[in-house]
Amino acid sequence: MSTSSARYVSTRGQAPETDFTDALLRGIAPDGGLYMPTAWPTLSPSAWDATADYKSIALQAIAPFIGDTLPAGALDRALDRLTAGFANPAVTPLVELEPGLFVLELFHGPTAAFKDLAMQLVAALTDEALAASGERLTILTATSGDTGAAAVRAFAGAKSVDLVVLHPLDRVSPVQRKQMTTVQADNVLNLAVRGDFDDCQRLVKGLLAEESLRERGRLSSVNSINWARLAGQIPYYVSATAQLGGPATFVVPTGNFGDAFAGIAATKMGLPSNGFVAAVNQNDALARAINDGIYSRRPAVESGSVSMDVQAPSNFERLVYEATGRDGDRTRAVFETFARDGAVTFDPDLLAALRAAVSAVSIDETETRAEIAHAYKTWGRVVCPHTAVALAAARRQDRSNGPVVALSTAHPSKFGAFVSAVLGFEPEPAPVIAALGDQAERMTIIDGTMDAALAAIRAR
Ligand SMILES: N[C@@H](CCOP(=O)(O)O)C(=O)O
């Protein structure tokens, strides 16, 4: 694929093909599907050369997805903004815990979670796109904690953007909540929804189809339903491979499945890997789908790894689309059945293709606590509950055919109460968390209905 011809289709096959900027500023396709590139670009092996730095890797990995629809130099400027916000010069350093077992540290950014890696980039590219077109954008985003914090940080004060963040009331950590609600920028509206993350995401998808909200300009989302978010998460898999000097098995703590799908996308572009393991907590819809062949809805249960309290992972749709051989009709049928009946059983060929792409492990709350204790006792490392889920799953993997990399998605100080209940002391705060302070919090509490969400947005 040449860079000038980057085009996008919907996983549901009924939306017109479009370009990167339009996909970025829509977030979701008009037929309710998710945008996918029409073809996978090929990465040159020089991208994972041991000497490659994060910016050069990201340039090579992301440029083919953008094509020529943004002003010249936009990606270069966006990556400068991204890397400037990272405290560690390697941006995403890889650390060996014991022979063959590594953690990929993704939490050195401005909100101490992996979401910063794509969100800072998406914000910079959005600024470029809006400056070029003169348009205004309302962004609607659902969060179980980390995405919302990263979005608020990235878009607060952006002059052509209004940001609405929906989080489940009392179901994010206090630090995550404060990262969202203590920001005083007038273009940010925090809605605390009585419900769970899946309710917030359902509302966002409904609001994106709400014509009356388009009066102020375009509507989009910066959840990983937006292709640009996924593109921004591809480089760290390439960087990890470069740091290792060869392929790995990646174990990804999984909520909305965007992070794992970004890794799978990297392999579609030619990155060598030994496979992907999605590690979920007791919200195990994805693990049941892969292991039992039935994707079924259950209410999300609260856990210590709150950011993964997701029972309807949006990016599973992208995996199904790929596994059907990019069959939009078949993908649409799967997700319409799921939406209507709350469950769908996969045909054997589809299930085999899903299993070839990813395996899945569910780690419960007891194992998560035990893994936090194990990490401290064995490696002297204080890890967040999401990283603990990944490490517990990673230690079950066979290391005889290559290294295993667990993604460390957030700094433990974002989840101080849970970690200190296990270890008996509070994790040392990341500098960006220590700087949070005690400003007044601003949020509007609403019921999980479209009427309530629309009324709160219109009132603002
Ligand atoms: N774990 C997420 C949930 C939303 O995921 P996203 O990758 O689709 O934005 C969170 O922390 O909010």
Question: Model confidence over 128-165: pLDDT tens digits?
Answer: 999 999 999 999 999 999 999 999 999 999 999 999 99
pLDDT of 425: 98
Cβ–ligand 1 contact at 258 (below 6 Å): yes
Half-sphere exposure (Cβ direction) of 299: Cα atoms closer than 13 Å = 5
Active site residue 115: yes
Ligand 1: which of 115, 173, 204, 233 to mutate, most ligand atoms within 8 Å of CB? Answer: 115
Is pLDDT above 90 for 65?
A: yes
Residue nearest to atom 9 of ligand 1 (CA): 223
**Which residue's alpha carbon is at the smallest distance from atom 1 of ligand 1?**
307
Mean pLDDT, rounded, for 269-275: 98
pLDDT over 60 at 390, yes or no: yes
How is domain 94-112+229-423 classified at the CATH fold level? Rossmann fold (3.40.50)
Q: Residue 4 — very low, low, confident or very high, per pLDDT cuts 50/70/90?
A: low
ipTM above 0.90, yes or no: yes
* Pocket test residue of 147, 196, 197, 222 for ligand 1, highest count of atoms within 8 A of CB: 147
Residues 6+ away with beta carbon under 8 Å from 439: 182, 184
DSSP 430: P
Whether ligand 1 lies within 6 angstroms of the CB of 307 is answered as yes
Centroid of ligand 1 to alpha carbon of 72 (angstroms): 30
How many Å lie between the centroid of ligand 1 and the Cα of residue 256? Answer: 6
Query: Which of 307, 308, 387 to mutate to test ligand 1, by most ligand atoms within 8 A of the CB atom?
Result: 307
Ligand 1, residue 308: give the atom nearest the CA: 1
SS3 of residue 234 by DSSP: coil
81-86: which pairs have CB atoms within 8 A and are 24 or more residues apart? 81/120, 81/121, 81/124, 82/58, 82/116, 82/117, 82/120, 82/121, 82/124, 83/54, 83/55, 85/109, 85/110, 85/116, 85/120, 86/116
- Mean pLDDT value across residues 45-69: 95
Q: What percent of the chain has pLDDT over 90?
A: 96
> Pick the catalytic residue: 55, 115, 205, 268?
115
pLDDT in tens, 71-128: 999 999 999 999 999 999 999 999 999 999 999 999 999 999 999 999 999 999 999 9
For ligand 1, say whether the CB of 143 is within 6 Å of any of its atoms. yes
> Which stretches does DSSP call E strand in 169-310?
188-194, 218-220, 249-253, 275-280, 294-296
For residue range 342-353, list pLDDT tens digits in order. Answer: 999 999 999 999
**CA torsion angle for 26, 27, 29, 34 (degrees, to 10)?**
160
Measured CA to CA, the distance from residue 25 to residue 43 in angstroms comes to: 25
What is the residue extent of each domain of the chain?
94-112+229-423
Tell whether ligand 1 has an atom less than 6 A from the beta carbon of residue 256.
yes
Quote the ligand 1 centre to 192 CA distance (angstroms). 15
Q: Which two tokens stand for residue 15?
A: 């939306």
What pLDDT is recorded for position 2? 39
pLDDT digits 0-9 by tens, 320-349 = 999 999 999 999 999 999 999 999 999 999
The pLDDT, as a whole number, for residue 3 is: 46
pLDDT at 396 over 50: yes
Cα 363 to Cα 289: distance, rounded to the nearest angstrom: 15
Answer yes or no: is the C-beta of 253 below 6 A from any ligand 1 atom. Answer: no
Q: Does the reported pTM lie above 0.95?
A: yes
pLDDT at 245 over 70: yes
